[in-house]
Structures are given as structure tokens and as C-alpha cells.
Structure 1
Amino acid sequence: MKKCLFIVASLFIFSCATKEEVDLIVTNANIYTVDADFSKASGIAVKDGKFVAVGSSDDILKKYNAKKQLDATGKTIVPGLIDAHCHFYGLGQNQQVVDLVGTQSFEEVVERVLAFQKERPSNFIRGRGWDQNDWEVKEFPTKDKLDELFPDTPVALERVDGHAYLVNQKALDLAGITAKTETEGGEIVKENGEITGVLVDNPMGLVDKVVPEASLEQKIQALKDAEAISLDYGLTTVNDAGLPRDIIELIDSLQQAGELSIRVYAMVSNYPENLDYFLEKGIIKTEGLNVRSVKVYGDGALGSRGAALRAPYSDKHGHFGAMVTPVDQIEALAQRIAATDYQMNTHAIGDSANIVVLRAYDKALKGKTDRRWKVEHAQVISQSDFDYFKNGIIPSVQPTHATSDMYWAEDRLGEERIKGAYAYKDLLDKAGLVALGTDFPVEQVSPFLTFYAAVARQDVEQYPEGGFQMENALSREETLKGMTIWAAYSNFEEEEKGSIEPGKFADFVILSDDIMTIPSEEIPNVIAEQVFLGGVQKK
């Protein structure tokens, strides 16, 4: 008997000794790997920040041993979510200004500004998030009330899309803006020859020049605030659509010091000093930071009527919007960037802006392969222009824009032009993939709202019945790919993230519900219960 017990004990010790030691084992999970076969698994093993095995729980437990083991109790696991277009640093900055998102009237805007200034007095009041399309009176506000309340304190309140300011007279004076100021690529809105206080696109830069610069401590806090919010929603990689050199270098230094862990795909803002530095330096790549693209603004936004259209706005006679970057400059930039290893990512909303960008890309990329240049938003496309996306150009789109704009978009575009707007399925059919993001803080951070908008094409009240232009809805598999492997591919990172496969970063999220099977109306309520980045739990 003692001999038998000795043999059993020896076999047990031998079995344990032959198992490979790893850092983390997760079992009993409902894993969507998003690999080439979109296969399922129930267990994973992680070592040194990467997946070393993916398969059945039994097979994982037979081959591996870890001090940290997690029973997922049947919960759904997906790859770490990637936001393919957002303003990560801008989200952090917004935590330090007046929050105007969701205001239902200009009166409510004023109330929030007053309350914020009382609680946190500032010598330059800033806010963001108003949207006149949400108000009963869907017209741009004017500066009169702000002039009355803050005659000696400059005020700059940014529209939700980031393409318009409402400023008071003090801010106009500091910026040197008068009724005679001339500008291109935007509008200084006037009524009866008098400035209303609304600045659309390029004129906003005149105000930006007089806004006090944030301190280093404030910049660091903004990045940390943005990281906390993003990780809470299961985002492990964020594509920041336009950053200056100092913020890119600050992100790198914080990551190297272990003070910032979220992975950042940083698009370089299109300013001469940025391009001169980064294009000469070449691609910068670490495990946490990827700098290999330039963000260019083609036109403005549809909500502020700054998007450049081929024919006039249906709800504003004779108004076409405007190119923020002139056509000749976009063409020259495309040629310059094509001569480097950098990617060109251009904001294009209106059909006129989109064709300008697509033609510039097509010309600059002749004879070049695998450049993966992106059209950011690709929001309104003429039917004859969709074929450009067959040529390796990637549409980077934000599904919640469709469900935010659907109430008034047809008013702007008309019943024919709207057919080529928010056409995600049409874009997918031509390009073979779509990269999905939110454009936060223009929209909410939640990737689950992105998922819901893509598949259901409804708001959270299930409006409209049957969905908005459902012929352009995406399937759940397509949507998850757009938020993981396709987004990673658009960043040249598909070999290191975007799916749960051996050798890739162990970035994954445990969800509260099976997002692939629950009723669509329940998708917005999904929660990222646990978030792992490089095998380390962040939530």
C-alpha cells in the first residue's frame, strides 16, 4: 500500500514538474479569439505579457501551471478593444473644462458655465460639448449673454464635434478678431455684418493662440484621466487622431516610466514643425507607442455645416461648407508623405472633401503597395467614388456618428445624397475591412455603443424602429473585427494585437455578457468587468 502511494505521489510530482510555468491561466471562458477562422476557445495561458497558448481549458491545465489562475465562470472574453479614431488627450483635457455634453438649451449651457466658474474660478473659461441640433431652437447661439456675464473674462466654448467655438467679445478682442478679419477654411459667423461669436474651423486657431498653455502637471493629469476612463471601458489601444510632438514625447516618457500603460497609436498633427521632425526621424515604435502616421483635416463637420459638399446644403441655400486644408496642399502633402514610410490619415466628411482626398491618395500611391492610408470618417461619399476604396485605402469610421446625426442629417444632405452617407457596409464591401472608433470626446467613450450603433443602427431608445439605413448595418462578427483585428491591421499591428493568439500581446477583456448573442437592445449595457493589458489586470 505504501509503495502504491509512493508511486502515485511520484507521478503527481513528475506531472507538475513537466508542466510549463506561466504567469496567468484563464479557464472556463467563452473566448472569441478573432483569429483567421473566428474560432472559439475556453482557456488561455499568458507568460511575459503575451499569450503562449489558446485552446480548451483541459488542454491548458494539462500543459501549464501558474500561481495566478482565473476561473472565468463562463464569461465572454474578447481581444483588447481598439478605438481606431479618438482624441485621447482631448478627453483628458475635457476633464478640466466645463462639460457641456447633453445640454438641452443655450440657457443650460450658461448655467453650467456659471456653476463651473463659481466652483473653479479661471481667468480663461473653457468648455466643450454643446450641440445646437439637440436644442428646441436648432440655431447657433450668440455671444450676447456671455458678454453680459463675463465682460472681462475671455470665454471659449467648443462645439461637441470640435469644429466650432462660441466665444465672447473679450476672447475676440484678445485674438484680434473683428468684422474685417479675413480667413480661409472656415467661417466667422456674422448677422447683419456683426460677429455673433461663433467661429467655424480655421478661425478657431486665432483663439487657440491666446488660450493659456496647460502646465506639465496638467498635461500629465489629462493623460492619466483619459487612460482611466478608456481602460474602464475595455480599451487597450487608442488611436489619437492628431497630437503635437510634445504630447507624443510625454506619452512615451510616461509609458517608459511605468506611469501610463494604455497603448497609443499616435497620429502626428499636420503642422510644419511636426512633419519636419517626424518624417525625418522615421517610424517610432515601442510596445506602447506607435508613431507612423500624419493626421490631416480635409474639411469641417456636418453638424456645424463646415463639411465640404459638392452641391449646396439642402437646409442652407448657397452654402457648400469649406476645405480646412486647401486642395493643392492636400495633394502636396500626399506626395510628401508617400515618399516616406508614414501613413496619411485624412479627416473627410463631405462628398467634396472625400473625392479630393481619394484622388490625392490614388495619385500619390501609384506603384506603391501596402501603405494602408486611411480616410477618417468617410462620412458622405458620392456613389461613383466608392470604388476608390478597392485600392487598399482603409475607411476609418465611427458608427455612433450615424445614430447621433440621423435625426437631422437628411435635412443637411437631402434624400439622394444621404444614401451615400454613413455607408459602412458599402465601404466594407469595397475595402474588405473597416476600422471602427468613436471619435470621443465628440461621442461617448463606450465601445459598446459603437458596437450597438454598427449592428442595430438605433439610439438607446431603439429609435428608429427597424434601424437607420439598415442596408449599411454590420454583422456582429464584422463589428468585433472592426474593433480588434481590422483596427490593428490599419495600424500595421496585426501581428502583435487584435486577436487572442499565441505570440500576441495578452490584451483581453472579460465582458459582463456575451456581446455576440444577447438581444441587440442589451448591447449598450454591456460592461467590461475585467481588463488585462499585457497579462496584467488593469480593472
Structure 2
Amino acid sequence: MNHRYLLFGLFMALLTACSSKKKADLLVHHAVVYTADSLFTSAQAFAVKDGKFVAVGSSESLLNDYQADSVVDLKGQPVYPGFYDPHAHFLGLGQMLDQADLVGTNSFDEVVQRLKNFSEKHPANLWVIGRGWDQNDWRDKQFPTKEKLDAAFPNLPVCITRIDGHAVLLNSKALRLAGIAKGSKVPGGEVVLANNEPTGVLIDNAMGLVRRVIPQPDANDKERMLLAAQKVCLSLGLTTVSDAGLDRKDIELVEQLHRENKLKIRDYVMIKLGEPNLDYYLKRGPFQTDRLTVRSFKLYADGALGSRGACLRKPYHDRPETAGFLLLNPAELERILTLLEASTFQANTHCIGDSANHLILDLYGKLLKSPNPRRWRIEHAQVVSPDDFWKFNRYSVIPSVQPTHATSDMYWAADRLGPIRVKGAYAFNDLMKQNGMIAFGSDFPVEAPNPLYGFHAAVARVDAKGFPAGGYQMENAVDRASALKAMTSWAAYANFEDHLRGSIEPGKQADFVVLQQDIMKIPAPQLRGVKVLQTWIGGERLF
């Protein structure tokens, strides 16, 4: 009889203990959790309920305090907040997956051969479209011209975009369809000529001459592209991406796909500049859903350094007849920024050259005047004059940079800028010190979308080949903790999403990634090869 009472008492004690535990949907334990919170604390476990973190702590305490429908033992694997890319082209990545891939070509002949292979596989295409060539990677570093495209494609129009998206090369068929002749001129752009005839190269605003005649994908095509891009990004641990410049129709498509639960990755969209978009969104105002943030306009001050469209304060070191150019004149930039200052929208301005950065920082300062909560951003902040760095702090401007640009451009950046001016280029540590933060993105598909490539470039300042020995301008390398925050919590702040996510803390959305190795500890040469094991968004495993 006493034995029965003892068993009953033990059963009731166990039942009481279980019923006193808090309920969760997911309990992750026995992990190395980097929270990326304000103190950069580490933990071993966390609990998730209704898509949000509800507790973070030791494995022992959370296993004692919670019971969950799903319990995951990570056996010591590292966990990080879901990775951000605060400056990318998400739809552009999907579009590029539909085009001839010209990234990594070693010569223009290889470009032509890849185009031929692509055209043979897609015989129904009315245009041959490709992206990713970079003449700086070839023995002949001059811009290519149309003659070899004409020979390979005498009857099909061809348009191939440079890696940075700021120049295209057309064949003669495409030039005729676009109505481009030797007298064609476009403010903020260039139709490149040789012997007073178009070579086929269009730079910056001149690209609009051909884009108006290229067949555009419809909504069904774009849905397919977005879902393909999502698959790539989730496999790389990205949980929040960005679209640096979308029209209203594309923003509404992203909203629709989120509502239909087809698109699950989160998206920070910058509105493409233009009067219809300004009129509509300034009246509507910023808005934010569970998976979409629309509260910024994307402006372009200048072009790219690789195509010499970046606007410099003094001429290019390797071409003294030009200093680049602005894509919008200063009066127009000030008009638009004044409209944004009167609203609650962010201004996110593309600035590559030191002249563009100088102009925009001064315009920001004229309108914002002093430290402020507006979180206006400079996208790229690529070449900054020594006398302009302090303005990031004075006017609370966030530098939104891409570390892999440094390791891609370092082979020829000094040729463009000279040995003195190049010291103010890709100066991530100097920029970070201004406000104690910086945001890291990739600008994909200009660069690869893998965020660990950017992490590696930021901390080691070398490329995939380990070049250069000892690192490139190592005084501007960033420590690993800062690099992680730049692609998680600081990026969330730059997106006005820090109250929602970006760190592993109770109350925030349960976006996290599990990696094969610990990027905070392994040797730098191993960083680019680390594999993503799991990607979770809102407590749902999506990869």
C-alpha cells in the first residue's frame, strides 16, 4: 500500500512539474548563440513562440522552464541572428538568373562565347541579354566595342550590362532599335564614341535609351524571378534582403507575394526615384508589415568607379580629361531631399566618388543641421575626402557599404584615384568610428549574394585567392564582432527594423541561422567556405 502511494506521489509531482513549465513552439539548446545584442552577449539556448523569441539563456534553465512542440539539440553548433543585406537588388538577382552569366570572364572573347552558348539554349529569345562583364579583369582593360557582337549576332539585338550596372554594351542591331546615333546625348550619362561613331557602350543615364525598347518581364515572370532569388538567399542564411530602387508595381507585387505566403523572406524596399513614385508615396507615407518595410527613397548622385562615372573632386588619375559626372544636378538633388526632409521618409543616396559624397553630405547637413533620428544613409560611401568623414557623425548619417567592393576594386582602384586619394576609399573602420556603427551589404548581383564573403572581406581585407598578403589597407579592417553586428543588428537599425529583429532577444522576430563552423573563431582563410546548415524566419525553418 505504501509503495502505491509513493508511485502515485511521484507521478503527481512529475505532472505538476510538467504543467508548470511554460509553453513554446520551438526550443533550441546546446548551441553557441551569438545574440548580437547591445552587449554582444552569448547564450546556449532560446525558446520561440508565435514566431518570436520569448527567452534566451542557458540550456539548463530553458529546458527546466519550457516545454515545446519541437526541441532541437544543435550539439554545439553556432547560431547567429538572421543575416541582413541592407543594400542589394533582390528582384535584380532573380532577373540575372534569367540572363547570360558573364561574371568572371577573362576576356571579351569569352564573353561572346558565353553569349553564343546562352542563345543556343534559349532560341526563342528576341534579345540576347547578359550581365557581369568587367574589362578590368581582362588583359585589355579598355571598354569593349560592338564589332565582335555584330559578327556573332548580326540579326539579334544584344545588350550586356557591366558588373556594376552602370554601363552596357550594345551591338549595332540594338543601337538601331534604340535610335542611338553619334549625336545622342543624355544629361548624367554618356554615349561613348570612337571616330565620331557610337562604340556600343552607354554609361549611366544613357542606358535608358536602350532599356525603353527591351522587352520587359511581366508579373508572372517577376514572381518566378523573386521566388528563384529567395531560394538562393535562404540557402546563404539571408533572412532580410533589400531592393535598392523599385517602382510601385514591383513593390505591390512583393506585397502580394507576402500576403499569399509565397514570398517569406523579409524585404526592405527603397522606392525608385521618379515623379509618379514621389507623388504617390509622399501622400501615402512610410509603411511596414511583418515582412516588408517601405520607408526610403533611393537617389543616385553619381555612377561607378569602374566605368569612370563616379564624380570626383579632381580628375581621374588614369584619365585626367575627366572627373566623372553627377546623374542629377545639385539643384534637383536639393529639391528632392527637401521634399523628403519634410516627410518621414529616409533618404538613401548612392555616392561613389568623393565629389558626390561631399555634395550629398553637405546637402544632408543643410537640411538636417545637427544630430537627428532620421537615419538618412549614404549608399556605398566609397571614396570620401579626409575633410568629410566628421559629417557622418554631425548629421547622424549611416554609411551603408559593401565590403566585397573593396576586394574586387583593389586591383585597379589606385589607378583610378592615385596613391593619396585611394586612402579615403573603402574606409570602413574610419566610417564606423563616426557613429559607432556601419551597415554591411553586398549590392548583389553586382557582387555575390553570400554575406560571408562580405564578412571575410571586412575583417581580412583579402579576396577569395587570399590576395594581397597581409590585407588591403588593413587600417580599415573591422573586428569580427563589429562585422557581425553590421550584417545583423546595425543593419536592422539602418532599416528602421531594430525593434523587430536583428538580434536574438525576447520579443524580437525569431530569424536565425545555423552555420557549420563558428565564424567568430575559425581562421580567416576558412570564412568564405563556411556552409549554412539551417535558415529560420519567424520560427519557421525555410532552409
Taking structure 1 as the reference length, what is the TM-score of the superposition? 0.99
Q: What's the secondary structure of 1:323's corresponding residue? A: coil
* Equivalence map 1:309-388=2 (5 Å): 309-366=312-369, 369-388=372-391
In 2 relative to 1, CA 368–411 (structure 1 residues): closer, same or farther, beyond 3 Å? closer
Q: In the aligned structure 1, how far is the partner of 2:104 from the partner of 2:157? A: 23
Structure-1 residue corresponding to 2:102:
100
Provide the C-alpha distance between the structure 2 equivalents of 1:450 and 1:438, rounded to a whole number of angstroms: 7
Matches of 1:35 and 1:131 in 2, distance apart?
Answer: 39
Give 3-state SS (helix, strand or coil) of 2:249's partner: helix
In 1: Cα distance, 2:376 partner to 2:69 partner: 44
Letter in 1 for 2:101: D
How far apart are the structure 2 equivalents of 1:250 and 1:384? 43
Partner of 1:189 in structure 2?
192
Cross-structure match for 1:86: 88
Who is 1:438 aligned against? 442
- Structure 1 equivalent of residue 460 of structure 2: 456
* Aligned residue in 2 for 1:27: 29
Name the counterpart of 1:252. 255
Conserved in 2, the CA contact under 8 Å of 1:375 and 1:396? yes
Counterpart of 2:488 (choices 484, 488, 492) is 484
What whole-Å deviation, never above 9, does each CA across 1:219-258 have from its counterpart, x for those lacking one? Answer: 1011101111111100000121111111110000000110
Q: Report the AA paired with residue 285 of structure 1.
A: Q
1:201 to 204, 225, 229: 204
Residue pairs, 1:208-227, within 5 angstroms: 208-227=211-230
Provide the rounded CA distance (Å) in 1 between the counterparts of 2:435 and 2:41.
23
Measured in 2, the distance between the counterparts of 1:437 and 1:235 equals 11
Helix, strand or coil for the counterpart of 1:84? coil
Among 280, 284, 288, the alignment partner of 1:285 is 288
Q: Partner amino acid for 2:266?
A: R
Structure 2 residue corresponding to 1:169, chosen from 168, 172, 182: 172
Determine the structure 1 residue equivalent to 2:406: 402
Offset from partner CA, 1:188-246 (integer Å, 9 cap, x none): 11112121101110000111100111122111011101111111100000121111111
Q: Can you list the C-alpha shifts for 1:102-149, whole angstroms capped at 9, x where unaligned?
A: 111100100011111111121111110000011111111000111122
SS in 1 for 2:86: strand
Cα distance in structure 2, aligned partners of 1:168 and 1:360? 40
TM-aligned CA deviation for residue 367 of structure 1: 6.2
| CA distance in structure 1 between the aligned counterparts of 2:132 and 2:14, rounded to whole angstroms | 62
- Cα offset for 1:462? 1.2
Q: Distance in 1 between matches of 2:50 and 2:219?
A: 33
- From 141, 151, 154, the counterpart of 2:157: 154
Post-superposition CA distance 1:473-527 (Å, at most 9, x none):
0000000010001000011111110100000000000011000000011100111
> What is the rounded CA distance, in whole Å, between the counterparts of 1:136 and 1:251 in structure 2?
42
Give a deviation string over 1:370-418, Cα, whole Å, max 9, x none.
0000000000001001111012000000000000000110000000100
Residue ranges of structure 1 left out of the alignment (5+ in a row): none
**Residue by residue, what CA displacement relative to the aligned partner does 1:42-84 show, whole Å, maximum 9, x if unpaired?**
0100000000000001111111111211001100000001101
**Aligned partners of 1:360 and 1:230: how far apart in 2?**
35
**3-state SS of paired residue (1:376):** strand
How far 1:288 sits from its partner (Å)? 0.4
1:140 aligns with 2:139: no
Shift, 1:431, TM fit: 2.4
User: For 1:298-313, what aligned pairs fall within 5 Å after superposition?
Assistant: 298-313=301-316
Q: Which residue identity does 1:101 align to in structure 2?
A: V
User: Distance between the aligned counterparts of 2:239 and 2:435, measured in 1?
Assistant: 25
Aligned equivalents of 1:84, 1:527: Cα separation in 2: 21
Determine the C-alpha separation between the residues in 2 that align with 1:149 and 1:456.
Answer: 42
Give the secondary-structure state (helix, strand or coil) at the position aligned to 1:492.
Answer: coil
- Out of 436, 459, 471, the position equivalent to 2:475 is 471
Amino acid at match of 2:321: G
Q: Aligned partners of 1:5 and 1:280: how far apart in 2?
A: 70
Q: Does 1:515 align with 2:531?
A: no
Say if 2:100 and 2:115, in contact at 8 Å, map to a contact too. Answer: yes
One-letter code of the match for 1:239?
S
Within 2, Cα distance between the matches of 1:87 and 1:70?
Answer: 34
Shift of 1:299: 0.5
Rounded to whole Å, the distance in 2 between the matches of 1:92 and 1:130 is: 18
Q: CA RMSD, aligned part only?
A: 0.9
Output the CA distance in 2 between the equivalents of 1:388 and 1:41.
37
Match of 2:414, SS state, is: helix
The aligned residue for residue 46 of structure 1 is: 48
Secondary structure of the equivalent of 2:85?
strand
- Residue 528 (structure 2) aligned to one of 520, 524, 528: 524
Verify the 8 A CA contact 1:242 1:266 in the aligned structure 2: yes
Moved over 6 A (4+): none
Q: Label 1:290 to 1:412 Cα distance change in 2 as closer, same or farther (>3 A).
A: same
Residue 166 of structure 1 aligns to which amino acid in structure 2?
A: L
Seq. identity, %: 50
Q: Which amino acid aligns with 2:379?
A: E
Q: Report if aligned partners of 1:395, 1:431 keep a CA contact under 8 Å in 2.
A: no
Q: In the alignment, what sits opposite 2:118? A: 116
CA displacement at 1:302 relative to structure 2: 0.4
What's the CA shift string for 1:160-194, capped at 9, x where partnerless? 00000000111111111100112111211111212
Structure 2 CA distance for aligned equivalents of residues 76 and 403 of structure 1: 27
Preserved contact between residue 371 and residue 396 of structure 2 (Cα < 8 Å): no
- 2:215 and 2:272 map into 1 onto residues whose CA distance is 20
Corresponding residue for 2:10? 8
Measured in 2, the distance between the counterparts of 1:94 and 1:500 equals 33
User: Counterpart of 1:268?
Assistant: 271
Q: CA deviation at 1:368?
A: 7.5
Q: TM-score, normalised by structure 2?
A: 0.98
Residue of structure 1 equivalent to 2:427: 423
Matched, 1:297 2:300: yes
Moved more, 180-189 or 362-371: 362-371
Structure 2 residue identity aligned to 1:20: K
What one-letter code is carried by the residue in structure 2 that aligns with 1:396? S
Q: Distance in 1 between matches of 2:122 and 2:315?
A: 43
Give, in angstroms, the shift of residue 86 of structure 1. Answer: 0.5
Deviation, 1:366, is 2.7
Q: Distance in 1 between matches of 2:96 and 2:120?
A: 18
For residues 304-354 of structure 1, give each alpha carbon's deviation from its aligned partner in whole angstroms, at most 9, with x where no partner exists.
Answer: 111001111111121111111211111111101100010000000000111
